[in-house]
Structure 1
Amino acid sequence: MPPSPRRATLATVAASAGVSVATVSKVLNGRSDVSPATRSLVQSLLQQHDYVAPAPRREQAGLGIVEVQFDTDLNAYSTEIIQGAVEAGAEAGVGIVVSIRGGQARTTAWARGLVAAGRRALIAVTSELTAGQPAALNRARLPLVLIDPLNLPRTRVTSIGSTNFAGGLAATQHLLSLGHRRIAYVGGPATAACNQARLHGYRAAMEAEGAPVLPGYVRSSHFHYQDGVEGGAAVLDLPHAPTAIFAGSDEMAVGIMEAARERGLRIPEDLSIVGFDDTQIAKVTSPPLTTIRQPLREMGQAALRTALRLAEGERVDSHHVELATELVVRGSTAPVPHRL
C-alpha cells in the first residue's frame, strides 16, 4: 500500500471549527451540552477531515479483535476458513468476529466504523473490492488481508490463496489419465482470479494432451450448488455431452451430480466428476467426491497471522502467498466407459 496520509487529530478539527478540543470531544462522545449549530459544524468537519478515532492502546484493549468478512452467505468453504482463523486467533489471544457485508458499500465511514468498534485488522474472503475500499482502510490505518479475492485492486494489497492453476492442471490430468477426452469445466465467475487460474490449468492440461475443448464445454457462473445444477444441465444436454466434468468447487460438483441424476446418469460409471476445495461435502456425497484439496483452514490461519503482523507494523515477506493444493481421489471418477 502507499504511505498512509497524516491522520487528522481533534486539534485539527477544533482549529477548523474555531472551538476547543474539549468541545469536539463532547460532540464525539454524544454529550448534550453543545449547541445544535456547533454540533452540526463539528460533525461536518469530522467527516471532511476523515477523522478516525485512535484505536485503544494495546494495554487498555488487550490483543483486540480481527473481523473476518464475507460477501455472501456462509457455506462449507466459509466454515473451513473461519475454523482456521479461530484456531490461529486462540493461539494469539485474539478474538474473531464474522460478518457478512453482501452488496453494501464500503466507504470511509465503513472503515471508521471498524476502527471505532476496536477491530485490529480485517480479513475479507472472496470479496470484490474497488480501489477506493482498500484506500479507505489505509486512511483508517486498518490492515487488510484478502483470501481468494474475486479481483485484485490496482493498489497493492496482501492476499492469501492457493495454487489454483496447479489444482486445475492436476484435476484435468487425472481425468485424462482415466482415458477421458470429452472433459468440460463448470466454474465460478469469469472475472474471478481464482477461477481464471483453475480454468487456465484445465486448458493447459487439455492442450498438452491434444484433447480439444469443444464448444459449450466451459461454463462460468458462481461457486454455488444451484449454479452447478444449471451448468451441469447445460453441458450434459450438448449433442456431444462430456464423459467427465471438472467443477470449480465442491458445491458446484454436488449440483452437477444432481443434474446427472435427473438425466439417469450414474457416477462414475457414466460420468466422472472432480470438485475443488475438499470441504466436508466432498466426504459425504454418494459416491464420495474426487476433488482438489485447497488448504482452507491453513489459509485462514495464515491470513490471521499475517493480519496481526501488519497490525503490529511489521513488514511481510510477500504480498501474495499461495499454499499448495493436492488431488484427493475418491469414488466419483473412473475410466471412460468403453462404449463411448
Structure 2
Amino acid sequence: MPKKPGLKDIAAAAGVAVSTVSHVLNGTASISEEVRARVMEAARELGYLARRQARASIASLSKVLLAVPESAMPSNDVNLVSWTILSALTRDAEERGIRITPFPIGPDTPVTAVAEAARKAGAEGIILFNDDREPLLKAIAESGIPAVLINGEDPYMHLDSVTPGNRFAAQMAVRQLLALGHRRILHLTWNGRKTVRRRLDGFRDAMAEAGRPDEDALVLMAASFTPDDGEAAMAAWLAQHPDLAGVTAVFCSADNLAFGAMKAIKARGLTIPGDLSVVGFDGVALGELHDPPLATVSVPMEQFGRAALGLIEQRSLGGDRVRAAHRLELGCNLIERASLARVRR
C-alpha cells in the first residue's frame, strides 16, 4: 500500500520548512502569498488536500472578493438584513484568517468586472451578495473562480448558492395564520428579486392547500421594501377598505414592510392583533422592540457567511474536477409574538 503523503513530503516538494507547511494548512500564521501558493500546489499534487478535505480541517482560503450592490450596502437602519449577514460573514472570515476584499457593484458596472477585480486582488474565491442577475452569474461562472451567491436565486445553477428557504418558510407562516382561524389574509410585498417572489409563492401555496378561494389570498404591492413604502401602501389599502373587507391578518414579505404596516394600522385607530394580526419575514432585532412585538419568520442570517465560505473551500479544494453547483437552503422558523393572535369570534 503506498504511503500517504504527510507534511514532510509537502515541505520537500515546496522547498519550505515543515512548520511553514503547518502554518499554511492550518491558517495559524501570516505567510506570504508566493510561499502559500507553493505549499498549496504541492499539497494538491500529492493528494493531501483531498484527504484533509474530508476531515474539514484545512484553511484553504486566504482572500475572498465580496461583491455587493451599492443599494444593498448596510448604510442605515433600512438595511438591517444586509448589515446582519455581512457583519457575520466578516466575523467568520476573520476567525478563519481569511481576508475580505469588498467590491461595490453599481448600476453601470460591467458583468465581467467582478471576476476581473477578483483576479487583480489575488482572491481565491468570490462571494456575490444580493445580486442574482443571470448575465452576472454566468460571467462569474465562466471565470472559473470558485464563487457563491448569498441571498439570491440562481435558477440555471451557474454558481453555488446559500439562501433561506423562502417559499417553504412563507408557507409555514401562513399555515399558522390559518390554524389560528384567519381565513382572509392580505400579503404585503413588493416587486423585488426572485427571493421575494418565492415568499409570495409560499403564501399562495398555503392558501391553496387550505382550499381558500383566490379572493381570500389578497396581494398588496408596495413601491419598495422600506417601512415608509409599507406604511403608504397599507394606509392606502385601509382608506379603500374601511371595513377591512373581511381581512383579519397581514403577512408581510419583510419586517421593514411590517413595521410600516403596523404604523398605518395604528394610525387608522385599529388595534394589533385585535383587529389585524401582523407577521413579518426576516427576524431583524428591531421587531422585538416594536409595540406590540412583531411576530416574524426568523432567517438564520448569521449562518450565511460560514456556509458560503465552506462551499468556496470545497470547490477550490476540488481543483479541476467537475462538480455540480450546490444550492443550500437554510431552514427558518416562526417566532410568535404579540402581533399575532387567534381570530376573535
Q: How does 1:1-340 map to 2 (within 5 A)?
A: 57=34, 59=36, 63-71=61-69, 72=71, 73-74=73-74, 75-131=79-135, 133-149=136-152, 151-152=153-154, 154=156, 156-189=158-191, 192-214=193-215, 217-221=218-222, 222-239=224-241, 240=245, 242-313=247-318, 319-338=326-345
Contact preservation (8 Å) 2:249, 2:277: yes
CA, structure 1 residues 124+291, in 2 after alignment: closer, same or farther (shift >3 Å)? same
Amino acid at match of 1:128: D
Cα offset, 1:58, TM superposition:
6.3
CA, structure 1 residues 220+143, in 2 after alignment: closer, same or farther (shift >3 Å)? farther
Amino acid at match of 1:59: R
Instruction: Quote the Cα distance in structure 2 between the aligned partners of 1:152 and 1:322.
Output: 12
Structure 1: give runs of 5+ residues left out of the alignment. 1-55
Instruction: Quote the Cα distance in structure 2 between the aligned partners of 1:90 and 1:163.
Output: 27
CA, structure 1 residues 57+245, in 2 after alignment: closer, same or farther (shift >3 Å)? farther
Deviation string 1:39-67 (CA, Å, 9 cap, x unpaired) is: xxxxxxxxxxxxxxxxx546169943223
Deviation string 1:217-238 (CA, Å, 9 cap, x unpaired) is: 2134533323322332343334
Instruction: Quote the Cα distance in structure 1 between the aligned partners of 2:65 and 2:118.
Output: 8
Cα offset, 1:134, TM superposition:
3.1
Higher mean alpha-carbon deviation, 158-167 vs 301-310, is at 301-310
CA-atom RMSD, angstroms?
Answer: 2.7
Instruction: Quote the Cα distance in structure 2 between the aligned partners of 1:110 and 1:161.
Output: 21
Deviation string 1:239-287 (CA, Å, 9 cap, x unpaired) is: 3162211100111111111221221222112211111111112222221
Cα offset, 1:207, TM superposition:
2.0
CA, structure 1 residues 258+158, in 2 after alignment: closer, same or farther (shift >3 Å)? same
Instruction: Quote the Cα distance in structure 2 between the aligned partners of 1:58 and 1:127.
Output: 34
Report the 3-state secondary structure (helix = DSSP H, G, I; strand = E; otherwise coil) of the residue aligned with 2:124: strand
Report the 3-state secondary structure (helix = DSSP H, G, I; strand = E; otherwise coil) of the residue aligned with 1:119: coil
Contact preservation (8 Å) 1:236, 1:242: no
TM-score (norm 1): 0.73
Amino acid at match of 1:65: K
Contact preservation (8 Å) 2:185, 2:217: no
Contact preservation (8 Å) 1:289, 1:332: yes
Amino acid at match of 2:82: S
Contact preservation (8 Å) 1:66, 1:95: yes
Instruction: Quote the Cα distance in structure 2 between the aligned partners of 1:58 and 1:155.
Output: 34
Instruction: Quote the Cα distance in structure 2 between the aligned partners of 1:206 and 1:139.
Output: 41
Q: How many residues were matched structurally?
A: 280
Cα offset, 1:122, TM superposition:
1.9
Bigger fraction of residues in helix = 2
Structure 2: give runs of 5+ residues left out of the alignment. 1-32, 39-59
